């Protein structure tokens, strides 16, 4: 019994020192915020929000004199508002165009890689599609699940608005820039898409791989299931960078926030939220 207690105490000590190491790393990465104060406004791509919120939480806990507001609205809004000086950091799930970069003098900061996966309700028996089938579903050419080996029910299409970076990547890389039926239901965010598909047994939609969980079922596209491993390996092609943007050089506080996202602690947050860190 004493031997068992000794082993457990060693294991406990190892865990304790590991926790101290992790805590120390976080404290070191947060140290630049000491003595800072002010407000930071962030908006844009909705895939980014879980990372932004956790980073903001840790920063504010380390220094309550800093205020950080985070909003969605889509990549288009993030690009436009940061370019017009309405926010300090704009988030985008697509790379801004050369015209946008030039017009707004944008500085780009890519801190993660993400995939965009097709999802259905978990009870749907259809779990794999070809690119051609997916394109025919979104144009409306295929409109019933029985045409794909599923139940005899109408396919309920879900998509994002045209300002969405998630939509742009899915439309370009999964749909080959094909038409999206006007009958498709439009939702405002990755979270709203997941909720909609999870609540509709006959739905099909698409979300950031970082948002896929047990409430929805990922569809294999051309034999490749969208997940972190297949995005990282390059086998799953519907992927993108996640960007934060500033108008010109970021302000001091915005710069510190971006530095934190690229720090070991920030990149750990990126990984914990289901994305592929760039460092």
Q: Check whether residue 199 and residue 254 sit in a common domain.
A: no
Structural domain including 125 reads: 115-239
Closest by CA to 108, choosing from 85, 86, 84, 83, is 83
Q: What is the pLDDT of residue 14?
A: 44
What's the total number of domains in the chain?
A: 2
**Alpha-carbon span 252 to 1, nearest angstrom:** 57
pLDDT per position as a tens digit, 7-38: 334 344 444 443 444 456 688 999 999 999 99
pTM of the model: 0.83
pLDDT per position as a tens digit, 124-165: 999 999 999 999 999 999 999 999 999 999 999 999 999 999
Q: Check whether residue 65 and residue 201 sit in a common domain.
A: no
Place of tokens 């992927």: 239
Q: Check whether residue 120 and residue 110 sit in a common domain.
A: no
Q: Check whether residue 92 and residue 121 sit in a common domain.
A: no
Q: Check whether residue 156 and residue 54 sit in a common domain.
A: no
Q: Check whether residue 192 and residue 79 sit in a common domain.
A: no
Place of tokens 């000491």: 34
Q: Check whether residue 91 and residue 134 sit in a common domain.
A: no
Q: How confident is the model at residue 59 (pLDDT cuts 50, 70, 90)?
A: very high
Q: Check whether residue 144 and residue 38 sit in a common domain.
A: no
Residue 170, φ and ψ in degrees, nearest 5? -65, -45
- Beta carbons of 150 and 126 less than 8 angstroms apart: yes
Q: Check whether residue 39 and residue 119 sit in a common domain.
A: no
Torsion on CA atoms 180, 163, 110, 69, rounded to nearest 10: -140
Query: Average pLDDT over the chain, rounded to whole?
Result: 92
CATH of the domain at 202: 3.40.190.10
Q: What is the pLDDT of residue 23?
A: 58
Q: Check whether residue 230 and residue 122 sit in a common domain.
A: yes
Q: Check whether residue 13 and residue 57 sit in a common domain.
A: yes
Closest by CA to 244, choosing from 37, 82, 59, 60, is 82
């Amino acid at each position: 019994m004493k031997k068992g207690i000794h082993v457990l105490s060693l294991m406990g000590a190892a865990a304790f020192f590991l926790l101290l190491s992790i805590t120390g790393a976080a404290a070191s990465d947060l140290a630049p915020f000491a003595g800072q104060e002010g407000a930071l406004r962030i908006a844009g791509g909705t895939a980014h929000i879980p990372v932004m919120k956790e980073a903001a939480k840790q920063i504010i806990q380390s220094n309550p004199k800093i205020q950080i507001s985070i909003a969605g609205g889509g990549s288009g809004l993030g690009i436009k508002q940061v370019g017009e000086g309405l926010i300090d950091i704009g988030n985008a799930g697509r790379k801004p165009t050369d015209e946008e970069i030039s017009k707004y003098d944008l500085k780009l900061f890519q801190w993660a890689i993400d995939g965009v996966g097709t999802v259905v309700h978990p009870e749907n028996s259809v779990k794999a599609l070809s690119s051609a089938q997916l394109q025919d579903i979104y144009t409306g050419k295929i409109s019933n699940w029985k045409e794909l080996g599923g139940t005899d029910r109408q396919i309920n299409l879900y998509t994002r608005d045209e300002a969405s970076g998630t939509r742009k990547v899915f439309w370009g890389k999964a749909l080959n820039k094909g038409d999206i039926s006007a009958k498709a239901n439009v939702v405002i965010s990755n979270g709203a898409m997941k909720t909609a598909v999870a609540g509709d047994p006959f739905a099909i939609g698409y979300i950031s791989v970082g948002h896929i969980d047990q409430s929805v079922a990922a569809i294999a596209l051309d034999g490749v299931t969208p997940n972190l491993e297949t995005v990282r390996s390059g086998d799953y092609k519907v992927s993108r960078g996640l960007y934060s943007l500033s108008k010109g050089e970021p302000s001091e506080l915005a710069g510190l926030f971006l530095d934190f996202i690229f720090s070991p602690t920030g990149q750990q947050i990126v990984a914990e939220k289901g994305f592929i860190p760039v460092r």
